[in-house]
Chain A
Amino acid sequence: MTGTAPATLPDHDKGAALVVRRLSTVYGTSYGRITAVRDVSFQIKAGEAVGIVGETGSGKTAIALALVGLLPRNGRIVAGEISLGGVELVNAPKKLLQEVRGRRIAMVFQDSMTSLDPLMPIGKQISEGMVAHLGTSADEARRRALELLEDVGVPDPATRLAQYPHQLSGGLRQRVAIAVAIAANPDVLVADEPTTALDVTIQAQVLDLLERERQRRGMALILITHDLGVVASVTDRVMVMYAGRVVESGTTEDIFRDPRHPYTLGLMKTMPRLDSPLGVRPAAIPGFPPTGYEEVAGCPFSPRCEWVRPACRAEYPPLERVAEAAPTHEAACLVDVRTEAPGDAR
């Protein structure tokens, strides 16, 4: 970390960079109220890389937006706490939030074309945060912007400084967006589907860049994606979300080697992969994810679940530790998918 923290921010505990407790958010739409995030808790240690995996509508983006205080006008946090390095962010004054954003936590969006300002040269967009948060002088900020562009692998950075976002390719724009996000050395970087709009080849480059910068800066990384494959090699831990809830979480190793929630299992099976036997069609999860409008009794995945049993429809199963040997591996499912066959209790 460079520079000194603004006086309003107390010294924080580097041990747990981010603590989220029982977070719930809703969106008001003209069609009804959507509960996007339901009672989600997690902790992220400094420098840790955590993946949040889920489908459209699972609430993963809502978490990200809540973390950086950028929920849209029709969205709000209805319960829970978000503590970033000891600073409570829910209901925090605007000014404090502004200081925290960028300085302590920053975000990279899926669509860099809209997250970057189309009318501002990219050099200025990168240095802006440094000037605002770190009080860097304009010259110094420019020099650092140049360095950052080099760090994120933008060729010919000196020329690029003066260019506008539309002059760059999608991959380069995403690199610039990352440069903007890490300019003020945040403790936590939230990347929401940073590679979804990119070619696989460029995706590999961007994942590599995120990983490199995370290690170099010791910042925590929250990687949000709908593609389990993306988190496998990049993150230390994974949380799988469904219908606004975390249905399974654990180390990446645990999740991939020993998935316990039927939904996680389904995701594993549906993934397009190169090592599956040729000619065997991928299994698909039947049905469609819920919308968040309806209050589902019991487990929200039960309508699509092969293991479903009457008890699943009665009550939402709590997130519980699944094995003695894996202290962090938790799943919210009544069924033991290892021993019970699908359709047993039907």
Chain B
Amino acid sequence: MTEGPAPNHPPDEGVTATAADADTRRGGAVGGDLRRAFSPFKPGADATRVAVAVVGETAPGQEVAPGQEAGAPAVLGTERGYWRTAWYEFRHDRLGMVGLVFVVLLILAAILAPLIAPYSPNYQVPTGLTAAGNPRPPSSHFLLGTDPLGRDELSRLLFGARISLVVGLGSAALGGVLGLVLGGVAGLFGGFADKLLMRLADVILSFPILLLATAVLAVTQPGVGSISIIIGVGFGAYLGRVVYTQALTLRERDFVLAARTAGVSRARILARHILPHVLPSVIVFSTLGVATAIQLEAALSYVGLGIHPPTASWGNMIADGQNYMTTDVWLVLLPGIAIIIAMLGFSLVGDGLRDALDPTLERTVQVKLGALG
């Protein structure tokens, strides 16, 4: 006997109307509470095969309804797809939602920066420095104080968010696409492409990304574009390896074999059978990659290899403020907090997605259910 499938659906939607419907719904409400209480479907549980949750061989709504032929198998009625199920899961992930709020706020701040920033980020406000020439602490004029050149700190933080987000999202997107293509091609076609691409990835991965960036940026014109590309390429090499391994396993799965036996073309196997199973992990890794990219950009800008003054970046803001750390601590603290919030936001969303998208699909869509026996 093998594990049965378990519908992992919210009780409130998508049940066919059978005689058992009313019962299922009522039971569902209880189940919802129980689920939260016992939290059976937490990740990290490959061990689910032995002991975790469990529904039987068949699905709910299976009680034969009047008028239905007894011999005809009744099945659970639901048409909810993978992405809707994933969104349902994500919505119920508190930390993930907190992260999402952070991310949304950050994006709003970046987009609306020209509208909400009290000053232009590079404008040295005439009243921006004290008589002694020191930065001003937070006040009603300068909500978060000013920097050593008399520029408004809040405005610079808001504009800095644009840099961080563009680099973060840009490099993650580039890395994601690169990884998908590299890994997919190598994994599917094997042979020469496989060896060449994977060795290339190994070479890139063998250098610490900071070192690589330092070397490249030392000879090129640093800017948002070049930084994004460098981080994106490094990330793509990493993700390529992940996708490659997954594609290799997927290639041997029975449903792919079934498609081959049916004469399905290679392109379609890639599109319908491989990609949908690789995509979730690419999305998860890319989201987590945004956080890493934001951190890397800040680090590069801090050491002077990234965004150059006067353009505001959280990294060079910390560099600018570090001489004043003892007297005007907010100059270091505020961009630091911004970096932490951004990284935390994307990390939490990434973790939430990892649970919700669960690339193996064992948890979200098909809970392994041996325990009912």
Contact = CB atoms under 8 A, between A and B. Distances in A.
A72 B58 contact: no
A32 B60 contact: yes
Interface string B42-62: 000011011111111111111
A109 B371 CA distance: 11
Contacts of B59: 291
B373 interface: yes
B71 interface: yes
B1 interface: yes
Interface string B139-181: 0000000000000000000000000000000000000000000
A286 B23 contact: no
B70 interface: yes
A325 B225 CA distance: 90
Contacts of B64: 287, 303
A111 B60 contact: no
B56 A291 contact: yes
A74 B55 CA distance: 11
A63 B54 CA distance: 13
Given A27-B54, A289-B57, A290-B62, A61 B373 contact: yes
Contact of A61 (B9, B41, B367, B371): B371
A225 to B, nearest CB: 8
A296 B40 CA distance: 25
B350 interface: no
Contact of B1 (A62, A110, A114): A110
A72 B34 CA distance: 13
A320 to B, nearest CB: 25
Contacts of B113: none
A62 B373 contact: yes
A89 to B, nearest CB: 17
Contact of B54 (A75, A224, A304): A75
Interface in B56-82: 56-64, 70-74
A60 interface: yes
A244 to B, nearest CB: 9
A71 B34 CA distance: 15
Interface stretch (B24-32, B230-238, B265-273, B334-342): B24-32
Contacts of A27: 40, 53-55, 371-372
Given A27-B55, A32-B27, A288 B62 contact: yes
B50 A33 contact: no
Given A29-B8, A114-B50, A57 B28 contact: no
Interface residues of A, number: 51
Interface in B114-150: none
Most buried by A among B70, B72, B73: B70
A102 interface: no
A256 interface: no
Given A30-B31, A30-B32, A288 B11 contact: no
Contacts of B57: 55-57, 288-289, 291
A57 B38 contact: no
B35 A291 contact: no
A262 interface: no
Given A30-B41, A290-B63, A294-B24, A56 B34 contact: no
A273 interface: no
Interface string A90-111: 0000000000000000000111
Contacts of B11: 30-32
B70 A291 contact: no
B60 A31 contact: yes
Contacts of A62: 54, 371-373
A226 B2 CA distance: 11
A304 B373 CA distance: 20
B17 to A, nearest CB: 13
Nearest to B37: A28
A114 B27 contact: no
B1 A33 contact: no
Interface residues of B, number: 53
Contacts of A33: 27, 30-31, 34
Given A32-B60, A57-B57, A110 B73 contact: no
Contact of B35 (A30, A55, A70): A30
A290 B31 CA distance: 18
Contact of B60 (A36, A58, A291): A291
B6 interface: yes
A186 interface: no
Given A28-B34, A33-B30, A73-B38, A293 B51 contact: no
A56 B56 contact: yes
A63 B371 CA distance: 9
A32 B64 CA distance: 18
Interface in B1-27: 1-2, 4, 6-11, 20, 23-24, 27
B361 to A, nearest CB: 15
A53 B366 CA distance: 25
A32 B30 CA distance: 6
A113 to B, nearest CB: 9
A34 interface: yes
A29 to B, nearest CB: 6
Contact of A29 (B54, B61, B62): B54
Interface in B314-373: 367, 370-373
B55 A28 contact: no
B40 A72 contact: yes
Contacts of A75: 38, 53-54, 371
Given A27-B371, A74-B34, A291 B1 contact: no
B369 to A, nearest CB: 8
A115 interface: yes
29 contacts: A27-B53, A28-B33, A29-B6, A29-B31, A29-B54, A30-B10, A30-B11, A30-B32, A31-B6, A31-B11, A32-B27, A32-B30, A32-B31, A34-B56, A36-B371, A56-B373, A59-B372, A72-B51, A72-B53, A72-B371, A74-B38, A74-B40, A114-B49, A115-B50, A288-B62, A288-B74, A291-B60, A293-B27, A303-B64
Given A74-B38, A74-B52, A287-B72, 16 more contacts: A32-B28, A36-B54, A56-B2, A56-B57, A56-B372, A58-B372, A61-B373, A74-B53, A109-B50, A287-B70, A290-B56, A290-B58, A291-B60, A294-B27, A294-B60, A304-B70
